[in-house]
Structure 1
Amino acid sequence: GVTVTSREAVSRAEGSCTSEVIEALPYLKKAYGSAMQKVLHVGPDSCTVVSNLLKEGKEAWGVEPYDLDDADSSCKSLVRKGFVRLSDIKFSLPYRPDSFNLVVVSDALDYLTPRYLNKTLPDLARVSTDGLVIFTGNPGQQKAKVSELPKFGRPAKLRSNSWWTRYFIQTGLTENEGPLKKFEQAASKGNYEPDCQIFHLSS
């Protein structure tokens, strides 16, 4: 059998789209180019995404929507320096409009009811100039038991591609076609097949 480290097991139970973000970074860079210079990541394990981007010389910040109780020392240091903050995304993000080029969201919207999504999505769009990239769980893909999701207080609602597409249209968000095409080309060249749904939206 394959042994999985507890860290991976935890992120997998959390929906695991955040680990997908790490895998997708090279392709996101090809798709977005200079828009990857100033990035906000919203989702669990934001420290990992932010530290990856900082190592590559990008400006990166993170919002961890759940808790940082089991954060390691490097994560605590990012929090102390203000790169990553704990913030409930049901409320307005503490950033000015157009603070970031790109906002990347993973494993965060799956836990919101449409009522909160109606507030949160426009707010994510408000702080980005070049668009949103949203990683959401795939219905039928993750079999995380409800008992494995105590952090979120409620199980993830894994919505279908057509549900999200309809929802984005209703919210007035359109597909960001240029980067989407570039991302898909780079991904197919690299034989990268995401497990999560990835949406590229204009802000």
Structure 2
Amino acid sequence: MSRRSVNPSRRVADGGLPSVGGLLHPKSRSPPVLTIALVVLGVIILIAYFNSGSGVTVTSREAVSRSEGSCTPEVMQALPYLKKAYGNELHKVLHVGPDSCTVVSNLLKEGKVEAWGVEPYDLEDTDSSCKSLVRKGFVRMADIKFPLPYRQDSFNLVIVSDALDYLTPRYLNRTLPDLARISTDGLVIFAGNPGQQKAKVSELPKFGRPAKLRSSSWWSRYFIQTGLRENEGPLKKFEQAASKNKYKPDCQIFHLSS
């Protein structure tokens, strides 16, 4: 029996995507495994490229809270001085950042304080107390790159920690004005201190990238550009109370009003 010759063009269709060498030499064909590997590598590179422009570089709440220099524990240390600084204004409070359950839980113990929280990262592996706060609506997950689901002037005070440091300026331009929108009496921002805080090298793979720790002068210029000004009254009371108790925060703390 005579053997039918194989059309070279059909070999390409049967073997998947042709390699560069196959395009130059039609008789050669790259191994299917190598072809698949090249396709997978290309997909990974594309995903990495598009993600590089995202506003938030941290996706894990655990990674933020366990990293060296986290500012959320600083919120708990500063809480007694915030009470003295804001007094009656510490009535309806929103905390934005990781471990919002802890902050909200402590604020609710005050009795006179109504507190809510926004968790910008995952809420996996939380304890029963945190799950209860989420179930009751006191704490919710939300992407802070987009407007929060609250009306204007919903809270007296908005406290932010371990959130803005992970936003690129592109998204910071949207998030900060939105936080000011929902606050009537003030906005308190806890930001990383470039001189004292550095992420552990072992933690970097969990972060994807370390936080962008900006200087106080950078923040001051940015606040002015955004239309925010220093909230002088509460700032002076906060500094007096902190100085009296020799409290020196490791994080930068900004008191702002719109």
Contact preservation (8 Å) 2:64, 2:162 = no
Q: 1:127 to 1:29 in 2, by over 3 A?
A: same
- Which of 118, 141, 164 is matched with 2:196 structurally? 141
TM-score (norm 1): 0.92
SS at match of 1:132: strand
CA distance, structure 2, for counterparts of residue 105 and residue 121 of structure 1 = 10
SS at match of 1:139: coil
Aligned twin of 1:30: 84
The answer as to 2:212 corresponding to 1:164 is no
Q: Which amino acid aligns with 1:21?
A: V
SS at match of 1:131: strand
Contact preservation (8 Å) 1:42, 1:104 = yes
Deviations 1:81-129 (A, max 9, x none): 0000010100000100000000000010000001101000000000000
C-alpha displacement of 1:23: 0.4
Q: 1:111 to 1:9 in 2, by over 3 A?
A: closer
Unaligned residue ranges in structure 2 (runs of 5+): 1-61
CA distance, structure 2, for counterparts of residue 13 and residue 127 of structure 1 = 29
CA distance, structure 1, for counterparts of residue 205 and residue 126 of structure 2 = 17
CA distance, structure 1, for counterparts of residue 134 and residue 206 of structure 2 = 19
CA distance, structure 2, for counterparts of residue 95 and residue 152 of structure 1 = 29
Aligned twin of 2:20: none
RMSD: 1.7
Contact preservation (8 Å) 1:17, 1:137 = yes
- Which of 102, 113, 125 is matched with 1:48 structurally? 102
Aligned twin of 1:5: none
C-alpha displacement of 1:55: 0.5
C-alpha displacement of 1:143: 2.2
Q: Which amino acid aligns with 1:200?
A: H
Aligned twin of 2:4: none
Matched length: 196
The answer to which structure, 1 or 2, has the higher relative contact order (CA under 8 A, 6+ apart) is: 1
- Which of 53, 65, 83 is matched with 2:138 structurally? 83
Asked which structure has the greater CA Rg, the reply is 2
CA distance, structure 2, for counterparts of residue 10 and residue 135 of structure 1 = 14
Percent identity, aligned pairs only, is 87
Q: 1:73 to 1:149 in 2, by over 3 A?
A: farther
Contact preservation (8 Å) 1:39, 1:60 = yes
C-alpha displacement of 1:70: 2.1
CA distance, structure 1, for counterparts of residue 141 and residue 243 of structure 2 = 35
Aligned twin of 2:12: none
C-alpha displacement of 1:148: 1.5
C-alpha displacement of 1:71: 1.2
Contact preservation (8 Å) 1:15, 1:107 = no
Q: Which amino acid aligns with 1:65?
A: P
SS at match of 1:144: coil
Aligned twin of 1:175: 230
Q: 1:111 to 1:89 in 2, by over 3 A?
A: same
TM-score (norm 2): 0.73
Aligned twin of 1:113: 168
